[in-house]
Amino acid sequence: MDVKPQQLPAIEPRHVDPHAYPQGIAFLDGQYLPMSEAKISVLDWGFLHSDATYDTVHVWNGAFFRLDLHIERFFSGLERLRMSIPFDRAGVTEILHNCVALSGHRSAYVEMLCTRGASPNFSRDPRDATNRFMAFAVPFGSVANPEQLERGLHVSISQRVRIPPASIDPAIKNYHWLDLVCGLYDAYDNNAETALLLDFNGNVAEGPGFNVFAVKNGRLATPATGVLPGITRRSVFDLCAEAGLVAEAVIVSVDALLGADEVFITSTAGGIMPVTKIDGTDVANGKVGPVTTRLKDAYWAKHDDPDWSMPVTYP
């Protein structure tokens, strides 16, 4: 996919408090705005009921990574939630591109989202609301900080059950995050840095913004159900296929995770990130493992592959 808008839209210079919001550009109600001015009504169902879907893609070294897959997942979420927006895939691609180009960021966290919106008479019927599309580009952020990336994350297994797929289809990327946020606080109380939540049957599900993989005897396993089908998770499958490694989506028990040779998590916000401690105990020898390192290197190398990336044209 190659998008080169002829001309970038104008963005009005306005007074902005640079400390109040991350620097970046948003698209809202047909306008490109500084982040600090991208605001929505408190009557929007997205805010009142978490009635929204979204997707996040990153830009690395001035190029989008696997944007087509993120756009596809976003449109699938819109359809399943019966939302509609006045843009097609090419239109959304161009808006995201413009947000990044106008922001000037060469490494960015780029989000597209749609809320149910609000209705003029505060109707309780979601069909009366006007769906609202927004997008923004802010500096790239990662689940793991540089020190954690180097030595591996310390994770705690939460006693909270991840929202079951029978309640909310996790393939619709959503903001139902209270279980994940409470899990994070539980993790901090346990001197860990992030949390892993279990599913309704007590098997491993996912964490706040990431999927998880266990490596045992050179084979990779990741939870099959009850999780967002992450694009980074998909990239791991693609990289394993290229490298001749076996990767499967299966039931991952807590015992399988605790007994793994290596554990890593995956997210657009950070890529492939090692886990070296679970509930205070080392994973294997407590060091970042060779399969994780190999896949992580291959993942970042793919950012220069034209089949997996799309350059941004900056003004």
By CB under 6 A, the residues from 112 to 141 that bind ligand PLP are none
By CB under 6 A, the residues from 264 to 283 that bind ligand PLP are 266-268
By CB under 6 A, the residues from 205 to 224 that bind ligand PLP are 206, 209-211
By beta-carbon proximity to ligand PLP, the closer residue of 206 and 262 is: 206
232 binds ligand PLP (CB under 6 A): yes
228 binds ligand PLP (CB under 6 A): yes
By beta-carbon proximity to ligand PLP, the closer residue of 185 and 314 is: 185
Question: Which member of 116, 154, 233, 277 binds ligand PLP (CB under 6 A)?
Answer: 233
Q: Which stretch binds ligand PLP (CB under 6 A): 19-27, 35-43, 230-238, 248-256?
A: 230-238
By beta-carbon proximity to ligand PLP, the closer residue of 131 and 267 is: 267
Distance CA 26, CA 236 (A): 30
98 binds ligand PLP (CB under 6 A): no
By beta-carbon proximity to ligand PLP, the closer residue of 129 and 233 is: 233
Q: Which stretch binds ligand PLP (CB under 6 A): 127-135, 190-198, 262-270, 289-297?
A: 262-270
By beta-carbon proximity to ligand PLP, the closer residue of 155 and 228 is: 228
By beta-carbon proximity to ligand PLP, the closer residue of 130 and 145 is: 145
Q: Which stretch binds ligand PLP (CB under 6 A): 8-16, 20-28, 225-233, 283-291?
A: 225-233
> Which residues in this chain contact ligand PLP in the complex, by CB under 6 A?
56, 206, 209-211, 228, 230-233, 266-268
